Structure 1
């Protein structure tokens, strides 16, 4: 049975400030490092046979803290590019135009200079499905938006129906029945610490 184990990076310095990151290369906070270290034994117990991760610092550092020394860094797994919204406080974006912000969360609005949802889904899904061809237990260390994109493309769950997953949380998709090519949601937003249910994007 094929499994895709997807981990969001630990809390970053901008997550802590609730600022939208997109592809800005922001480091983990001290709390984010601790969150990733707490998840390490869970990942070890799942024994992934291959790990791919975003090449942004907060993701590949999370992979290292999970005990993965040989993660393959992929630019295709970067977070969605948010253009002129990069670095803006989420509350300010909501205050400026709540409908546009919700449209962006739902994949129907692209910020000025940003990446469209459809292009984002295509690049992230292509990377993961290609890696799955040579893996039975694939670990993907990435970003919240990437997780939403994969849930849409692999199991048909639209982004407007998904909360932002918590930092250093684990989501698992499994092929059921085995050999069918159909992926099903096996685990969502799991954290060995207190689950974060109001995580920022």
Structure 2
């Protein structure tokens, strides 16, 4: 296992969500933690990370509790998943077909009553850059959040919002970003410790 760097953001996607076949951006559903053998290598890696933050979503809080049993994990509402508006809670097979969109058009697409991915990146920028500053001052920082949160951080590192949508972010995976003066660089995406 590669230990975290001193100035590193580790964005951990929550355990699989018990979504019941529905889109659950802001819908608060529990996590399916599964067999501890799946996540114990990650737990061992992040055990000593001094700074821990999680989205307030139940699936993120449960994932954080599994990774750091009994330890303090700060909740940050700014880390919530993308707001899919009227589409949130809708069965996957009933979501509207958007057709072929360019990466930019997809990033800019705003569901009725919700936010686009570009909106989400703008919303999360202050939170993520603030957390990056804390990592630079006090050591590695682990964030348990959503696939969208990890992609928003990648968008900031790449300086290209649409490009971040090309990354897959699996449950229990880690997106590792190095923090340096003025920005972020990508160490790894969709990474799992062995």
Task: Tell me which interval the TM-score lies in, with the shorter structure as reference length.
Answer: 0.7 to 0.9
- For 1:65 and 1:151, the matched residues in 2 are separated by 25
**Aligned with 1:2 (options 2, 7, 28):** 7
Corresponding position of 1:53: 54
Q: Does the CA-based 8 Å contact 1:32-1:167 persist in structure 2? A: no
Flag the 1:182–1:103 CA change in 2: closer, same or farther, 3 A. Answer: closer
Deviates more, 1:97-106 or 1:143-152: 97-106
**Paired residues, number:** 184
Which sections of structure 2, spanning at least 5 residues, go unmatched? Answer: 1-5
Corresponding position of 2:16: 11
The reply to whether residue 76 of structure 1 matches residue 78 of structure 2 is: yes
Corresponding position of 1:145: 148
Give the Å deviation of 1:63: 0.8
Give the Å deviation of 1:41: 1.4
Corresponding position of 2:115: 115
Which sections of structure 1, spanning at least 5 residues, go unmatched? Answer: 194-201
**Aligned with 1:43 (options 20, 32, 46):** 46
- For 1:74 and 1:116, the matched residues in 2 are separated by 20
Q: Does the CA-based 8 Å contact 2:18-2:31 persist in structure 1? A: yes
Q: Does the CA-based 8 Å contact 1:12-1:27 persist in structure 2? A: yes
The reply to whether residue 89 of structure 1 matches residue 94 of structure 2 is: no
TM-score by length of 2: 0.81
2:182 aligned counterpart, secondary structure: coil
Give the Å deviation of 1:54: 0.3
Give the Å deviation of 1:35: 4.2
TM-score by length of 1: 0.79
Coordinate RMSD, CA, aligned: 2.7
Give the Å deviation of 1:23: 0.6
- For 2:13 and 2:99, the matched residues in 1 are separated by 26
Give the Å deviation of 1:131: 2.4
Flag the 1:108–1:118 CA change in 2: closer, same or farther, 3 A. Answer: closer
1:134 aligned counterpart, secondary structure: helix
Corresponding position of 1:131: 131
- For 2:91 and 2:100, the matched residues in 1 are separated by 14
Q: Deviations over 1:53-98 (max 9, x none)?
A: 10010011111111162111011000011011112233432xx314
1:31 aligned counterpart, secondary structure: coil
Give the Å deviation of 1:103: 6.7
- For 1:105 and 1:18, the matched residues in 2 are separated by 26
